Amino acid sequence: MDRPLAAFDIESIPDVEAGRRLLGLEGDDAAVMDGMRAWRLAASDGRTDFLQPPLHRIVTISLAWLDPESGSFRLGSFGRDCSDEKRQLEELFDVLAKPKRAPRLISWNGNAFDLPVLRYRAMLHGVAAPHFYRTDGEWKYNNYHGRYHDLHVDLMDVLAGYGSSDRVGLDSLCRIVGLPGKTVTEGQNVWRHVLAGEHDLVRTYCELDALLTLLLYLLWSHHRGRVDDGALKRHLDRIVGVLTQAKDKPAWVEMGEALQSWPAWLSR
């Protein structure tokens, strides 16, 4: 692997201010969110109540960072809490502004959802991010927004052959390959947690999703010969060490303990 890995995830909720401006909805935030989902369900002829990317507000951006060269690993979320959207965006884009060795972004369904939401919300807040549009040297098409190159890897899209087979959810694939999957809450409950002020729970949920995305990327990298057994073991040992030492984060410790015997075929 030729550059740092930045596996990221976002959590979002309906943007109630957009709902009020665009749809004329009234009431408290919960009522407006319900109204937005009902509007989307009707507009899609009953197919989905999941809102389009411009109608989402980011509440958490989390990053699992691994530098294969130095062996360093860190996991965390940007900003102070779930209300701090602009600061989260600015801090994420600062990570991408490294003058050398641009990190490889890794996502799960990032091309279809996460990246569009980042673009829309940065425009809304007036956050300039020229490095978000950088290219990788002479390869002018290798950038964070291209589908078929590797400065950004949408792992769900890649593993499904860019749509040639059915896409699989992150939780399902994790459990299939022996990872714990989602353990803290479920995505459809994030808005409830945010309205209840349970910001730490949402941030932990997002952090573990970013971590699981990184772990699946490492497993895929081993499969295609980019990481050998020894390197995979070193990376996993480092990750487990960081997680199990985070005594103030029980969900991290639980994940770290589960990873001590994963994958089953790797001699540890």
In a domain, 156, yes or no: yes
Measured CA distances, 61 to 53, 117, 137, 235 (Å): 15, 11, 27, 23
pLDDT at 2: 79
SS3 173: helix
In a domain, 265, yes or no: no
Lowest mean pLDDT among 93-97, 99-103, 176-180, 259-263: 99-103
For 140, how many CA atoms within 13 A lie in the half-sphere containing its CB?
Answer: 0
| Residues spanned by the domain of 124 | 5-259
In a domain, 15, yes or no: yes
Domains: count for the chain: 1
Cβ(241)–Cβ(247) below 8 Å: no
Q: What is the pTM of this model?
A: 0.95
Tell me whether residue 154 is exposed, middle or buried, using C-beta atoms within 10 angstroms of its C-beta: 0 to 12, 13 to 18, 19 or more. Answer: buried
SS3 24: coil
User: Which candidate, 170, 161, 152, 36, places its Cα nearest to that of 92?
Assistant: 152
Whether omega before 263 lies within 30 degrees of 0, making that bond cis, reads yes
Measured CA distances, 170 to 79, 94, 143, 163 (Å): 25, 27, 24, 16
In a domain, 104, yes or no: yes
In a domain, 268, yes or no: no
Structure tokens given for 246: 């985070």
Tell me whether residue 41 is exposed, middle or buried, using C-beta atoms within 10 angstroms of its C-beta: 0 to 12, 13 to 18, 19 or more. Answer: middle
Query: Which value, in Å, is the radius of gyration of the alpha carbons in the chain?
Result: 19
Residues in the chain: 268
State the average pLDDT for the chain. Answer: 94
Average pLDDT of the segment spanning 31-48: 97
Q: pLDDT tens digit string along 149-187?
A: 899 999 999 999 998 999 999 999 999 999 999 988 998
Domain CATH for 164: 3.30.420.10
Cβ(3)–Cβ(105) below 8 Å: no
SS3 227: coil
pLDDT at 137: 62
Beta-bridge partner residues of 104: 5
Structure tokens given for 173: 């694939």
In a domain, 264, yes or no: no
SS3 77: strand
Residue whose pair of structure tokens reads 């997002």 in the numeric block: 206
Q: pLDDT tens digit string along 178-229?
A: 999 998 899 899 999 999 999 999 999 999 999 999 999 999 999 999 999 9
